[in-house]
């Protein structure tokens, strides 16, 4: 074994010679974590050839390693500027809201979601807009995270950066939960026609999207410091995200939802 490595062995009960000793794990490169093995052994006895083995040395004999929780995260302050128009994607009528929430498995939040949609009037058009509270229009933080995950998928970064997919799923966060657009109401709306299939066959409908123009969004990126993601990779993801964009219709061409990264600064 190399210096600094810790190995965990199992020894048959009553065996003092170590002749039937087997190694369970060690903390060398590419090895299974001894701590994880011990956790499993606390729940289940290791059985081999009908004999019960016990971990050796015992957990109480292992040197305890304390995690420095002050350095649990890496944090970055980010500011982006929308180049042209950012389109809202939240349906504004009860019927469309219910369909939109159902497609995303969020039926239980229907009442709250409806209250947070900026209703201007009831229409039979497919009209989408932004969420709004007493501070103004805002995006949900998961929209930023969704854009980042989309970039990672398109660039296939999870193949070259081992552990990145898991980190984005469970250890990557955007704050605050509501990212305000600095607007009390939309700057306007655009309309387009679309074909839908109804009970009487295909028909045309008018789709309307509220938008805001050239707004700045500020938020914090925070993720567990597992040595998986560094500043260089994060910058690459955000720069690629400039063309992926945010909001609805971002994949329809033009400049909808596209942005420039104004600031990426580490928070100490």
Q: How many angstroms separate the CA atoms of 107 and 103, rounded?
A: 9
Q: What is the pLDDT of residue 30?
A: 52
In terms of domains, do 136 and 46 share one?
Answer: no
Residue corresponding to tokens 């690459």: 236
More confident residue, 145 or 50: 145
When the pLDDT of each residue in the chain is averaged and rounded to a whole number, the result is: 76
- What is the per-residue pLDDT across 112-127, written as a single tens digit (0 to 9) for each? 655 555 443 334 457 8
In terms of domains, do 74 and 147 share one?
Answer: yes
In terms of domains, do 170 and 237 share one?
Answer: yes
In terms of domains, do 215 and 190 share one?
Answer: yes
- For 29-45, letters b (16+ CB in 10 Å) and e give eeeeebeebbeebeeee
- What is the per-residue pLDDT across 204-247, written as a single tens digit (0 to 9) for each? 767 788 999 999 999 999 999 999 999 999 999 999 999 999 98
- What is the per-residue pLDDT across 8-30, written as a single tens digit (0 to 9) for each? 555 555 555 555 555 555 555 55
In terms of domains, do 102 and 144 share one?
Answer: yes
Residue 28 belongs to domain spanning: 7-61
Q: How many angstroms separate the CA atoms of 222 and 150, rounded?
A: 18
In terms of domains, do 190 and 164 share one?
Answer: yes
Q: What is the pLDDT of residue 196?
A: 65
- Residue 157 inside a domain? The answer is yes
Q: How many angstroms separate the CA atoms of 231 and 2, rounded?
A: 32
Q: Give Cα separations from 109 to 100, 106, 120, 126, 146 (angstroms).
A: 12, 6, 21, 21, 19
Most confident of 27-31, 64-68, 103-107, 212-216: 212-216
- Residue 2 inside a domain? The answer is no
* Close Cβ partners of 16 (under 8 Å, ≥ 6 residues apart): none
**Structural domains counted in the chain:** 2
* Close Cβ partners of 260 (under 8 Å, ≥ 6 residues apart): 80, 81, 83, 242
Backbone angles phi, psi at 161, to 5 degrees: -110, 95
Which of 33, 61, 89 is where one domain is finished?
Answer: 61
In terms of domains, do 132 and 257 share one?
Answer: yes
Q: What is the pLDDT of residue 169?
A: 93
In terms of domains, do 18 and 78 share one?
Answer: no
pLDDT at 31 over 80: no
In terms of domains, do 53 and 126 share one?
Answer: no
Q: What is the pLDDT of residue 78?
A: 98
Helices (DSSP H) in the chain: which residue ranges? 34-43, 94-103, 110-116, 141-155, 157-160, 164-170, 231-244
In terms of domains, do 53 and 83 share one?
Answer: no
């Amino acid at each position: 074994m190399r210096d600094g490595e810790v190995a965990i062995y199992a020894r048959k009960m009553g065996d003092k010679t170590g002749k039937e000793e087997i190694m369970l794990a060690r903390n060398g490169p590419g090895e299974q974590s001894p701590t994880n093995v011990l956790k499993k052994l606390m729940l289940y006895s290791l059985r081999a050839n009908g004999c019960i083995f016990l971990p050796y040395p015992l957990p109480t004999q292992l040197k305890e390693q304390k995690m420095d929780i002050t350095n649990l995260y890496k944090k970055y302050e980010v500011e982006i500027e929308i180049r042209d128009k950012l389109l809202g994607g939240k349906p504004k009528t009860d019927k469309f809201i219910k369909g939109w929430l159902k497609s995303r498995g969020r039926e239980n939040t229907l009442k709250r979601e409806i209250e947070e949609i900026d209703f201007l009037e009831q229409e039979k058009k497919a009209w989408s807009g932004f969420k709004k509270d007493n501070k103004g229009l805002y995006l949900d933080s998961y929209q930023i995270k969704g854009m980042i995950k989309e970039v990672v998928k398109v660039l296939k970064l999870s193949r070259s950066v081992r552990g990145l997919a898991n980190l984005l799923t469970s250890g990557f966060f955007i704050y605050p939960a509501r990212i305000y657009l600095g607007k009390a109401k939309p700057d306007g709306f655009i309309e387009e026609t679309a074909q839908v299939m109804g009970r009487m066959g295909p028909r045309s409908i008018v789709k309307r999207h509220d938008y805001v123009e050239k707004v700045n969004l500020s938020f914090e990126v925070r993720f567990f410091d597992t040595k998986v993601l560094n500043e260089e990779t994060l910058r690459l993801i955000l720069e690629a995200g400039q063309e992926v964009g945010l909001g609805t219709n971002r994949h329809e061409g033009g400049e909808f939802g596209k942005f420039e990264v104004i600031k990426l600064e580490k928070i100490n």
